[in-house]
Amino acid sequence: MSTTADPQALADHLEQARRDYAELRAQGLHLDLTRGKPSARQLDLSTPLLSLPGAHHTSADGTDVRNYGAPLGLRELREIFSPFLRVPVDQLLAVGNSSLELMHDTVVHAYLGTTVPLPGSPRRWADEERVAFLCPVPGYDRHFGVCERFGIEMIPVPLTPDGPDMDVVEELVRTDAGIKGMWCVPKYSNPDGTTYSDETVRRLAAMPTAAPDFRLFWDDAYSVHHLTDEEVQVADVLTACAEAGHPDRAFVFGSTSKITHAGAGVAFFGGSPANVAWLRHYSGKRSIGPDKVNQLRHVLFLEDADGLRAHMRAHRDILRPKFDAVRRVFDDQLGGTGLAAWTDPKGGYFISLDVLEGCAREVVRLAGEAGIALTPAGATHPYGDDPTDSVIRIAPSYPDLEDLLRTAHGVTVCVRLAGYEKLVADRAA
Ligand code: PLP
């Protein structure tokens, strides 16, 4: 890095960063870049949902949506999402309002279900000596939260631009029978926007595993959340698993949380016929049927695959300028400094900002003291432990453009201050 070559230049940069930080603090900001929530403008796109389904109360097959029943969810809604989630409509359930809840529940049933075993499972996970999951890093903190809740050991696996490092994954699952699962966000992953290559999907589907009941928790949270004209496609995991002789390997999850109204949307579960029957066996004990009124309202609002595409383009028109703005500020303020690198995702909700090793916590602390809330450093790693202390998740969706620009600028000031402090300290050591 050119700036470190000259001690005087480095000292000058540090002085400037200190002055800029003092100015930042003096602004008395109260800004929040922590969670990837849709903004109010995005939520407004789905306002018609609030007055639907109106007088409609029957689904295409004549089901009265106001009543119990239809445990798979409305077929017409499943038909809209089936091609996007790449799950045959008969193997796709529309249930509940949260995919995270479904992920949590599948783990619960695998642990505790006694009447119908998880396909391929010799015993309940609760009766195993040890249960471990592979966690590609950086990853989604709430996945890690599910593991922590059940005492599942988390084994980090590095993400490459093609998805998880498959040499590492194959070796671990081949030899360790305690590894029962793996978190996968195959498209526009949270937080660094990675999309799994076809070869990665093929290897995940085909790899031998010591655990006979190993599962890919295929969290397709961002399947239609494109930020460019390219509709990035991920290989069909269920078909790949079936063709490789492991038809029950993948649980597929998705939801409309970041399509319509987060928390008032619809969640999806897809899997092999055996996995679907297994889940239905247990979910039928905890619910007499999903909220089909909400499902019908989603059908009437989205209409079909093209309706969903058009709706997601409207989201993109709001989101894209925000991602561009953050990138521009990072380019202007940090480009060429060698202090950080950042992702330019083609979709999803996050930018991953990589700062100098050992600086992420300090950047988040400095930002917090200047009134800018960032996701805690380490949240992208199991047990909150980013061993390099370098990854910061940036969520540009929620603030308006003006606040976002101020926030992104403030973050760069903190990155410069923490980075130059470190370089000066390293030089002195
Ligand atoms: N999965 C991923 C990767 C996410 O980033 C999120 C939300 O940020 C979720 C799941 C939450 O989904 P839901 O609202 O359907 O529970």
CA angle 231, 48, 396 (to 5 degrees): 50
**Minimum CA distance residue for ligand 1 atom 5:** 190
> 255 in ligand 1 pocket by Cβ < 6 Å?
yes
Q: Which domains does the chain have, with CATH numbers?
A: 7-33+309-428 (3.90.1150.10), 59-302 (3.40.640.10)
| Residue of 104, 184, 234, 257 best suited for mutating to test ligand 1, as the one with most atoms within 8 Å of CB | 257
> 190 in ligand 1 pocket by Cβ < 6 Å?
yes
- pLDDT at residue number 3: 46
DSSP 37: P
> 397 in ligand 1 pocket by Cβ < 6 Å?
no
> 194 in ligand 1 pocket by Cβ < 6 Å?
no
- Which atom of ligand 1 has the smallest separation from the CA of 350? 5
- pLDDT at residue number 1: 36
- Which of 271, 296, 291, 292 shows the shortest CA–CA distance to 281? 271
Structure tokens at 91: 């193997």
Q: In one letter, which amino acid is 208? A: P
Report the DSSP beta bridge partners of residue 298. none
Phi and psi dihedrals of 311, rounded to 5? -65, -40
CA of 222: how far to CAs of 119, 364, 405, in Å? Answer: 27, 26, 24
Sheet with strand 351-355: strands edge to edge: 340-342, 351-355, 391-394
**Gap between the Cα atoms of 381 and 144, Å rounded:** 8
For residue 221, report the distance from its CA to the centre of ligand 1, in Å: 6
Mean pLDDT, consecutive 10-residue stretches, the chain (429 aa), reads 71 97 96 91 98 94 95 98 98 98 98 96 97 98 97 98 98 98 97 97 98 98 97 97 98 98 97 98 95 98 98 98 98 98 97 98 98 96 97 96 96 98 93
- pLDDT at residue number 35: 79
Helix axes 198-206, 166-175, angle to 10 degrees: 10
- pLDDT at residue number 2: 43
Give every CB contact of residue 112 below 8 A, 6+ residues apart in sequence.
124, 126
- Which of 405, 328, 339, 428 shows the shortest CA–CA distance to 13? 339
- pLDDT at residue number 150: 96
For residue 102, report the distance from its CA to the centre of ligand 1, in Å: 11
- pLDDT at residue number 276: 98
pTM: 0.96
> At which residue do the structure tokens 């109260």 appear?
30
- pLDDT at residue number 4: 57
Note whether 111 and 304 are within 8 A (CB): no
| Residue of 102, 104, 140, 146 best suited for mutating to test ligand 1, as the one with most atoms within 8 Å of CB | 140
CA of 276: how far to CAs of 33, 76, 178, 310, in Å? Answer: 37, 18, 24, 30
- pLDDT at residue number 23: 98
**In the chain, count of helices (H) and strands (E)?**
14, 13
**Gap between the Cα atoms of 415 and 356, Å rounded:** 9
**Gap between the Cα atoms of 144 and 385, Å rounded:** 11
- Which of 292, 299, 244, 295 shows the shortest CA–CA distance to 272? 244
Phi and psi dihedrals of 376, rounded to 5? -55, 140
> 140 in ligand 1 pocket by Cβ < 6 Å?
yes
